[in-house]
Amino acid sequence: MSIPMIAQGALGVPRSGIRDVFDRVERVPDAISLCVGEPSSTAAPHIVEAACRSIREGHTKYTNVLGIDAFREAVADYSRRVKGLSYDPHTEIQAVDGATIGLFLALKAIVNPGDEVIIPSPFFTSYDAEVLMCGGKPVTVALTPDHQMRLDADNIEAAITPRTRAVIINSPGNPTGAVTPADELARIAEVCKRHDIWAISDEVYHPFVFGDGRRAAADSPFPAAPSIAAVPGMHERTVVVESLSKTFAMTGWRIGYLLGPDELIEQTAKLAELMHSSVNSTAQYAGVAALTGPMDPVVAMREEYRAKRQIVLDGLADCTAVRLIEPQGAFYAFVDIRATRMDADEFSRRLLEAERVAVVPGEAFGKEGAGFVRLSYAGDASELREGVRRLRRFAQSHADPLLGRHTPEFHHLAIMA
């Protein structure tokens, strides 16, 4: 029996390559999965208690589509303290059901059919799909190992055409862990102003920065990655997409927010009201506690990720079979496996079969990810150590000796530990 026709707009949206890997891992129950970009911790007790208290007190009804006043005020204060950003909680902040829906709302309010959106690649898997869902055209710009996978203003400007509407910024980056420094963000800001385009800045990993790219606002509880929205003249042309998922280990709560000029937030709020009426009230009350409460759990998580990052760096140090650009933020490592002469999908499949270790092929993050795999170091430290050991063993057993560390093709990919 056939069903009526399904829309080409749905059929044409690519499925996340990460989901394909998850499906394979489910068939190998004893596998060590280094795939999931999710904190191993759960929300701190004071956050959980705030959620339970809100239910006991009957705060379970519809809310303003922008979010409850307390949540937006907490976001405004947190953004000022941690990032040095100033937003009006009444008109420039909107609660959203996580960063993914926030990104979609921003794109839907900005992109006309046929408009182009520049996406530095490799990129988080939903970026190109959401541009397509809005009728736009994704235009990828390659992130390169010789630039430490950081954003580059010149490359972005070279991709701009009369149809360009926006550029998506992600720093710290998923899948690469790269952090773009403030001076390069300032150069990108000048490009946006010169060509009158939007910057959509995905900053969900902002607290997890380990290198020199950190920047602390005057009374911030911890240093964070710099935001392009802090560059003079960018307040009115930047949409900051944020989430509490990574910062406060609240992935399942589905709570985040948008920061943007009031004219844009007016439109994203209108769209959101038609889509879901309002954001989960319990998650918003929990979010208030997260944003205004003690930041010790966030600092502790960052130090935990720093230690796990070192497990990866140590485990792959001096390995001629793989190359690693040292991640400066988030909790991902992007590993070059080209010396094995396998493409990333084959490497990922055979690693799972032979060693029972799951990683994500780089092509899941755009064609520029070819020859790389992503591993997450957010999970259990002992499993991570064993998973990296097995990955190294597998790669070394399949490496082409002609593609060793000192060959010209791979010289620029040497580990910078």
* Per-residue pLDDT at 173: 97
The mean pLDDT value for 269-279 works out to 96
* Per-residue pLDDT at 312: 98
* Per-residue pLDDT at 408: 37
Higher pLDDT, 291 or 218: 291
| Residue 11 exposed, middle or buried by CB count within 10 Å (0-12, 13-18, 19+) | exposed
| Residue 200 exposed, middle or buried by CB count within 10 Å (0-12, 13-18, 19+) | buried
Query: For residue 129, which of 38, 270, 9 has the smallest C-alpha distance?
Result: 9
Percent of the chain, pLDDT > 90? 85
Is residue 20 very low, low, confident or very high in pLDDT (cuts 50, 70, 90)?
A: confident
Phi, psi of 141 (to 5 degrees): -125, 125
Looking at every residue in the chain, the average pLDDT score rounds to: 93
The mean pLDDT value for 279-291 works out to 98
Pinpoint the residues of the chain covered by CATH 3.90.1150.10. Answer: 8-42+297-411
> Which class does domain 8-42+297-411 fall in?
alpha beta
Q: Let me know: does 390 contact 359? Beta carbons within 8 Å.
A: no
CATH for 45-293 is 3.40.640.10
Q: Is the pLDDT of residue 251 over 50?
A: yes
Q: Is the pLDDT of residue 387 over 50?
A: yes
* Per-residue pLDDT at 410: 41
Query: For residue 185, which of 165, 161, 156 has the smallest C-alpha distance?
Result: 156
pTM of the entire structure? 0.93
Encoded amino acid at 246, one letter: K
Give the strands of the sheet with 164-170, arranged side by side: 93-96, 256-259, 238-243, 198-202, 164-170, 116-121, 137-142
Pinpoint the residues of the chain covered by CATH 3.40.640.10. Answer: 45-293
Structure tokens at 120: 């530095």
